[in-house]
Amino acid sequence: MSPAWWAWVATRDSLTARLIDAGAGRSFRVRLLAQRLGKPSLDEAQALGQPHGRLAWLREVALCLDERPWVVARSVAPLAQLRGQRLERLGERSLGSWLFRQPDLERSPIEVTAAPAPFHPLDGPWGRRSVFRHGRFAVLVQEFFLDQMADDLALPSR
Ligand SMILES: C=C(O[C@@H]1C=C(C(=O)O)C=C[C@H]1O)C(=O)O
């Protein structure tokens, strides 16, 4: 991985904040693609340490700068641990801007993949995921950087 991409993939603070920063005046928008109850994939259940087949709150978004998607993300929050957090009311506000305001937020190590997003057709160089926890609340956040971001920021292809 190029150092330029490593700087993006390895960052442990808010990606939303970093995208806004890198956007240098471009308008930032969370485009809500899907938000529903559903069953996580086996792979997602395992990443959360959950039995397969339990319901979770699923949210898919595109993080856009000047309406161009730079990152697509799919977040999975097990229902059993939601405890009335009412995340479905987030709408087009960034999950990150809520998450990073929570006290005692913990984040697991970040896992990286070169495979494209399984939930979205646009291609990109890298994907990553990690689990955030605060109290009993847990959410798996999977983020895929897109080629359009590489183009707009003149980043290497990988
Ligand atoms: C986790 C963060 O939130 C971002 C916002 C998301 C959303 O609104 O659904 C999803 C993934 C993240 O890229 C972050 O900013 O780091």
SS3 readout for 68-130: EEEEEEEEEEEHHHCCCCCHHHHCCCCHHHHHCCCCCCEECCCEEECCCCCCCCCCCCCEEEE
Q: Can you tell me the ipTM of this complex?
A: 0.91
Phi then psi dihedrals of residue 81, to 5 deg: -105, 5
Binding-site annotation, residues: 59, 95, 143
Phi then psi dihedrals of residue 136, to 5 deg: -90, -5
Rounded to the nearest whole angstrom, what is the distance from the C-alpha of residue 58 to the centroid of ligand 1? 13
Binding-site annotation, residues for substrate: 59, 95, 143
- Report helix, strand or coil for 146: coil
pLDDT at 135: 85
- Which residues have CB under 6 Å of ligand 1? 14-16, 30, 59, 61, 63, 71, 73, 75, 94-96, 99, 141, 143
- How many domains does the structure of the chain reveal? 1
Residues 147, 123: Cα–Cα separation, whole Å: 6
Q: Which atom of ligand 1 is nearest to the CA of 71?
A: 13
16, 71, 110, 120: residue to mutate for ligand 1 pocket, most atoms within 8 A of CB: 16
Pick the residue whose CA is nearest to atom 2 on ligand 1. 96
The CATH number of the domain holding residue 19 is 3.40.1410.10
Question: Which residue type occupies 1?
Answer: M
pLDDT at 83: 64
Residue 158 lies in a domain: no
Residue 40 lies in a domain: yes
Residue 126 lies in a domain: yes
- Cβ atoms of residues 30 and 94 within 8 Å: yes
Pick the residue whose CA is nearest to atom 14 on ligand 1. 96
Range(s) of the domain holding residue 36: 3-153
Give tens-digit pLDDT for 66-79: 999 999 999 999 98
Give tens-digit pLDDT for 92-117: 999 988 899 998 999 999 999 999 99
- Cβ atoms of residues 35 and 107 within 8 Å: no
Give tens-digit pLDDT for 17-42: 999 999 999 999 999 999 999 999 99
150: left (phi over 0), alpha (psi -120 to 50) or beta: alpha
